[in-house]
Structure 1
Amino acid sequence: MRPYFRADHDGKVTRVQPSPQTPLLDKVRLPADLRALPENELPQLASELRTEMIDAVSQTGGHLGAGLGVIELTVALHYVFDTPADKIIWDVGHQAYPHKILTGRRDRIRTLRQEHGLSGFTKRSESEYDPFGAAHSSTSISAGLGMAVARDLSGGKNNVIAVIGDGAMSAGMAYEAMNNAGALDARLIVILNDNDMSIAPPSGAMSAYLARLASGKAYSEIRDIGKKLTGYLGRRVERTVTRAVEHARGFVTGGTMFEELGFYHIGPIDGHNLEHLVPVLKNVRDNGDGPVLIHVVTKKGKGYAPAEAAADKYHGVNKFDVITGAQAKAPANAPAYTRVFAESLVTEAELDDKIVAVTAAMPSGTGLDLFGEAFPKRTFDVGIAEQHAVTFAAGLATEGYKPFCAIYSTFLQRAYDQVVHDVALQNLPVRFAIDRAGFVGADGATHAGAFDTTYLGSLPNMVMMAAADEVELKHMVRTAAEYNEGPIAFRYPRGNGVGIEMPERGSVLEIGKGRVIREGTKVALLSFGTRLADCLLAADELDAAGLSTTVADARFAKPIDRDLVRRLARDHEVLITVEEGAIGGFGTQVLHYLALEGLLDNGLKVRPLVLPDLFVDHAKPEKMYADAGLDSAGIVSSVFGALGRNQNAARA
């Protein structure tokens, strides 16, 4: 075995343990090398690939269970299809780690989700083997259909394969794409990776035999002859007979729904049996036309006992011990914001039976699993269907209930029309709990909550809050519960709070009113959200440099506290707004008010600090804040820049 080494924070290198033996995988740098192997060696290759992935993710953290479930499928796809000419689109992309190892990125696989390292999802700029970047679910069939149609328009012959599963088939977008694909009759291969509950479970060798038969040339030719024969009898008879045949086959294979959408359905087959997978994929590659769906049944976490036993806990993991499966835990010096939200909502729901909770397939991620334990009949997980979640919540609101719609900032984007049309336009009191607001570290640009303040703050009737710490979050949960005048939203970040003492229950905040934390005379720092702690650190440094500094917590981006903004503008030479959101958000609201009131005419120096106007790649959060100028050093630098003073000279 080749030993591998690890460096600690001081740069000391120590031997950790021998790296796993992977003699066959060592021969495979690219899929072309894989295709040169005898077919009977594929199971060994899959075993080595699984070992390599477990070892790599144990060092980096990341998504584990989904990737382990598609090891054999990944090997089979790259063995049968001529990638990258044939295009494989991995829906969501978090199951693509094995794909990355086989496509020239094995030497970098232990940089996953680290600064300047590999993305935790597929990424077009990373490799020609990633034809479509993904991190939100249910996009693969739409993208694949677009590629297939483009191929046909260009006269190409390559295959396009969309691999979708892990709950992504619960989203309406997947069915919209399938409906369109069936109508266009474009040549597209969809693999339904059924890794949760089988629509029709496979039954061993007989199921595999039927799948091979249905995907084979002989069956396709008989089917085509039948179409031609019924064609002579008239189009109505043709449709009737063809539909009857497909219905009969659908009752046996479980694919009637897909056949109705225009897809030729094959399966279900065992997604961990290469002797079953490879022949079916070859048949599909070599025969037939039009859209095809292959139903493959897999198990999340396959081949790693801890992940098989607890698929939810090993979906996304921290660094872990390969032998025991024990994951590294962050120091528990402060509660996680997600848990504070969940516990606060439970407290409010105990006192108000009209409070209900809605999530879009993220009960544990949003903390609503705790609410579900306390109030199972008042908890609704609608699947990966954010659009439906929002309008469903709107319907609840029309009947006097108080829905809390808990959705990550990046996922709420998917339901923006519903927020606008079904909630804000009708002024319905839906409460939006927006988790993962701001930077999200290793999950990078695809999951960053950059835009919610901007896209919600522009809507009439919307109230928009952001919690500066865990106590403020408790206050905002109660404020949202009590507010019935229209829609209200509150945002909070990933990670832990600041570690302050919390009350048993939050207080009701006055809508549109902020608070002053410390008073000064020269500089005003007006924070919206969790950058408040860095504003206070910046104020210490500014005071030490002779710049008396006020620090205020806006609490609300809409409506803004006009009295507070007016006072800060009139009593200070410099006003810095600080927010962990994109341009067009809180700072824009403040600048708009200052301009209309003529408060910029007296020489006030205003600097709005926001997230960079670009998609920021993954890194450690503290590095992301520093690069964005949103840490205390960046805030201090902005103040000195506004004053036209040299910061180093001031320190001297």
Structure 2
Amino acid sequence: METPILNKINQPADLKQLSLAEETELATEIRHVLLNKVSQTGGHVGPNLGVVELTIAFHTVFDSPTDKVVWDVSHQSYTHKILTGRKQAWLDPDHYDDVSGYTAPEESPHDYFNIGHTSTSIALATGMASARDLQHKHGNVMAVIGDGSLSGGLALEGLNTAATLKSNLIILVNDNGMSIAEDHGGLYRNLKELRESRGTSTNNLFKAMGLDYRYVENGNDLSSMLTAFKAVKDVDHPIVLHVHTEKGHGYAPAITNKEAFHWHVPFDLATGATLHPATGESYNDVIHGVLEDELTTQHTPITAITAAIPGMYDLKRFGRNHPDRYFDVGIAEQESITFATGQAQQGLRPIVFHSGTFLQRAYDQLSHDLGINKLPVTIMVSGGSISAGDPTHQGIFDVAMLSNIPNLTYLAPTTKEELAAMMRWSLRQTAGPVAIRVPGNGVHSAPLTAFDAHKMHTLHAGKTVAILGVGSLLPLAEQVQQRLTDHGVDATVMDPRDISDPDTAALDALKADHQLVVTLEEASLSGGFGEKVSRYYGATAMRFLNLGAAKRFNDRETTDELWHEFKLTPQQVVTAILTNLN
């Protein structure tokens, strides 16, 4: 498409030469290029469409990077990137992959942090503001935080610290009435009251914390945002600028279905329809089958708990049928775990549904509240896989995190039958918390003739080499076993199941007629399952080979590149095994 105004913008200073009419046209052009790209590549749709005007206004009024803006989550920073010298990543398909979907200091001096999780911006901004003052520097510091992110404890801690500062700090609350899904929690009643009263209600969370406060009714009106920013620029004390915006503004499908268009896979731009919808059975279907049977047939007193990611597990399906047993605590991973702990102590059997890349924020609660108290909470963990894209969303550290918490059992199912059996076992045991790593490699099925959560399952009994395939990598272990037969090696294939405490009886049995034990895991090798096996065999004659991910934050590599680098293709594993044997 033609972008006559955007073509003139190469840095924020160029905006200062535009008229209001030209900037209004620029907003239209930016929306078009945003939608054109994300409809092809996937990405955060609604969050970015909602902040086009306020981003243009910021870079018109303020002087970045002397004046600094910290974007909470930073998934809404696409317009910011377009205006700060990176527009080719939206205009030219050959450059679509040049920038990440989040702020990245290595890309531009206008970015300050790699951020991909919520509730961080205010705390970061308070630190930046205090550093500015101690070094006698100048410039505004602004934190842009969505209303959904305010439910995270760190956001409230940041507000608490902000109120103690005696210098410039602007906290822009981008209030669109949505988190990833709907907002949940008591503070949203106050935000609603403030919106309905145009900011005049005497019941004001921000003022109660000691902060100055102003309200902007239409954050999608460029003139209103320019006026608001001019009024607070160079303010000499902390102030909250509460801005009402519309998530998905300017694109009807994203407005109609805000949750689905928070982040969306490639879609048809004209209709909003997904281009390549998933088909067939999913592990979510298996999970919901167990939930319904346990609650309605077995009468297990289960509850389902999530921290603002119901879509990952289609949990609203359960919530519609059992609204009194469904709890969305908002973006508050810590609360989700401790809330479940309280329920378990009182006799319920809570199941908490999490993403592995978000659950890390509840580490203390997993250890202190659950581990020490040995309460039977079930935690479903999705997203455990080797993937790239950006360093903030990594699915390889959950095994090291969860499998090393005392009293917590971490299970890795390989099929839908194992997943169901592990859920049912977890709901009946009383020894302590159980986490289950939902496979991310598509639904696999195999008969389950016997099940013991703590015992390894042998799929094929051979000799010389034993291959232990953790969860989603069991199919890889089976492929390697088949290829090794061409080299005269009849390898054993085993499913470890329990990846927190290896089955030592099974490991001991392998000593009789095996020379090499190979572990395959779609997780960081450091602190992972393979290390536990190697440590157990350390003083024996058994040789071992651990294959998995490196301990690092992957960034921009493709998934295929990572699998090759980590030597996790079938032929690479075969070669590594034969080299070790010879």
Fold match (TM-score > 0.5): yes
Residue 486 (structure 1) aligns with: 432
Residue 163 (structure 1) aligns with: 144
Summarize deviations over 1:23-60 as a string: whole Å, max 9, x none.
11111122122222223321111111111101111111
Cα displacement (A) at 1:269: 2.5
Cα displacement (A) at 1:289: 1.3
Residue 636 (structure 1) aligns with: 574
- Does the Cα contact within 8 Å between 2:387 and 2:559 map onto a contact in 1? yes
1:477-626 pair list within 5 angstroms: 477-494=423-440, 496-498=442-444, 500=445, 509-582=451-524, 583-595=526-538, 598=539, 600=540, 602=541, 604-626=542-564
Over 3 Å counting, the alpha-carbon distance change for 1:453 and 1:114 in structure 2 is farther
Q: Secondary structure at the match of 1:168?
A: helix
Cα displacement (A) at 1:626: 2.5
Amino acid at match of 1:525: I
Summarize deviations over 1:196-237 as a string: whole Å, max 9, x none.
16534658xx96xxxxxxxxxxxxxxxxxxxxxxxxxxxxxx
- Does the Cα contact within 8 Å between 1:60 and 1:112 map onto a contact in 2? no
Summarize deviations over 1:174-193 as a string: whole Å, max 9, x none.
11111011123342111000
Q: Distance in 2 between matches of 1:635 and 1:481?
A: 37
1:38 equivalent among 10, 13, 19 = 19
Over 3 Å counting, the alpha-carbon distance change for 1:418 and 1:323 in structure 2 is same
2:207 equivalent among 252, 256, 259 = 259
1:450 equivalent among 356, 379, 396 = 396
Cα displacement (A) at 1:314: 1.1
2:9 matches 1:28 = yes
Residue 312 (structure 1) aligns with: 259
2:232 equivalent among 258, 265, 284 = 284
Q: Distance in 1 between matches of 2:449 and 2:53?
A: 54
Amino acid at match of 1:606: F
Amino acid at match of 1:199: K
Cα displacement (A) at 1:124: 1.9
2:158 equivalent among 171, 177, 183 = 177
Q: Distance in 2 between matches of 1:324 and 1:488?
A: 43
- Does the Cα contact within 8 Å between 2:422 and 2:453 map onto a contact in 1? no
- Does the Cα contact within 8 Å between 2:411 and 2:453 map onto a contact in 1? no
Amino acid at match of 1:579: E
Residue 291 (structure 2) aligns with: 345
- Does the Cα contact within 8 Å between 2:469 and 2:475 map onto a contact in 1? no
- Does the Cα contact within 8 Å between 1:253 and 1:268 map onto a contact in 2? no
Amino acid at match of 2:536: Y
Q: Secondary structure at the match of 2:217?
A: strand
Over 3 Å counting, the alpha-carbon distance change for 1:584 and 1:445 in structure 2 is same
Cα displacement (A) at 1:359: 0.6
Cα displacement (A) at 1:339: 3.9
Cα displacement (A) at 1:465: 0.4
Residue 469 (structure 1) aligns with: 415
Summarize deviations over 1:589-629 as a string: whole Å, max 9, x none.
2122223xx4x2x2x22111121121112454344322322
Summarize deviations over 1:146-204 as a string: whole Å, max 9, x none.
1111111111111111110051011111111110111233421110000116534658x
- Does the Cα contact within 8 Å between 2:440 and 2:472 map onto a contact in 1? no
Cα displacement (A) at 1:283: 1.3
Over 3 Å counting, the alpha-carbon distance change for 1:81 and 1:340 in structure 2 is farther
Q: Distance in 2 between matches of 1:71 and 1:94?
A: 13
Q: Distance in 1 between matches of 2:83 and 2:96?
A: 22
Q: Distance in 2 between matches of 1:637 and 1:338?
A: 36
Identity %: 37
- Does the Cα contact within 8 Å between 1:512 and 1:558 map onto a contact in 2? no
Q: Distance in 2 between matches of 1:641 and 1:92?
A: 45
Q: Distance in 1 between matches of 2:98 and 2:399?
A: 29
1:384 equivalent among 331, 336, 348 = 331
1:366-381 pair list within 5 angstroms: 366-381=313-328
Q: Distance in 2 between matches of 1:468 and 1:619?
A: 26
Q: Distance in 1 between matches of 2:109 and 2:258?
A: 31
Residue 240 (structure 2) aligns with: 293
2:370 matches 1:429 = no
Q: Distance in 2 between matches of 1:361 and 1:112?
A: 33
Q: Structure 2: 5+ residue runs without aligned partners?
A: 179-190
2:275 matches 1:328 = yes
Cα displacement (A) at 1:491: 0.7
Cα root mean square deviation, aligned? 2.3
2:192 matches 1:199 = yes
2:250 matches 1:303 = yes
Q: Secondary structure at the match of 1:496?
A: coil
Summarize deviations over 1:315-342 as a string: whole Å, max 9, x none.
111111111211112452x533344333
Q: Secondary structure at the match of 1:464?
A: strand
- Does the Cα contact within 8 Å between 2:453 and 2:497 map onto a contact in 1? no
Amino acid at match of 2:559: P
- Does the Cα contact within 8 Å between 1:478 and 1:508 map onto a contact in 2? no
2:43 matches 1:50 = no
Amino acid at match of 1:274: L
1:136 equivalent among 117, 122, 125 = 117
Summarize deviations over 1:490-518 as a string: whole Å, max 9, x none.
112446324x378xxx8983231111111
Q: Distance in 2 between matches of 1:392 and 1:110?
A: 46
Q: Structure 1: 5+ residue runs without aligned partners?
A: 1-19, 208-249, 645-652
Amino acid at match of 1:463: T
- Does the Cα contact within 8 Å between 1:86 and 1:159 map onto a contact in 2? yes
Q: Distance in 1 between matches of 2:203 and 2:57?
A: 22
Q: Secondary structure at the match of 2:160?
A: helix
Summarize deviations over 1:566-594 as a string: whole Å, max 9, x none.
22243212111111112112112212222
Cα displacement (A) at 1:448: 1.8
Q: Secondary structure at the match of 1:365?
A: helix
Q: Secondary structure at the match of 1:266?
A: strand
Q: Distance in 1 between matches of 2:566 and 2:282?
A: 24
Q: Which moved more, 1:67-76 or 1:609-618?
A: 609-618
Over 3 Å counting, the alpha-carbon distance change for 1:587 and 1:501 in structure 2 is closer
Cα displacement (A) at 1:116: 5.6
Cα displacement (A) at 1:469: 2.8
Q: Distance in 2 between matches of 1:123 and 1:112?
A: 20
Cα displacement (A) at 1:538: 1.3
Summarize deviations over 1:298-318 as a string: whole Å, max 9, x none.
111110111111111111111
- Does the Cα contact within 8 Å between 1:265 and 1:293 map onto a contact in 2? yes
Over 3 Å counting, the alpha-carbon distance change for 1:462 and 1:113 in structure 2 is farther
Residue 4 (structure 1) aligns with: none
1:64 equivalent among 12, 32, 45 = 45
Summarize deviations over 1:469-497 as a string: whole Å, max 9, x none.
33322222222222221111111244632
- Does the Cα contact within 8 Å between 1:192 and 1:293 map onto a contact in 2? yes
Q: Distance in 1 between matches of 2:257 and 2:125?
A: 32
Q: Secondary structure at the match of 1:292?
A: strand
Summarize deviations over 1:98-144 as a string: whole Å, max 9, x none.
22222211212378999964212222222222112111100000111
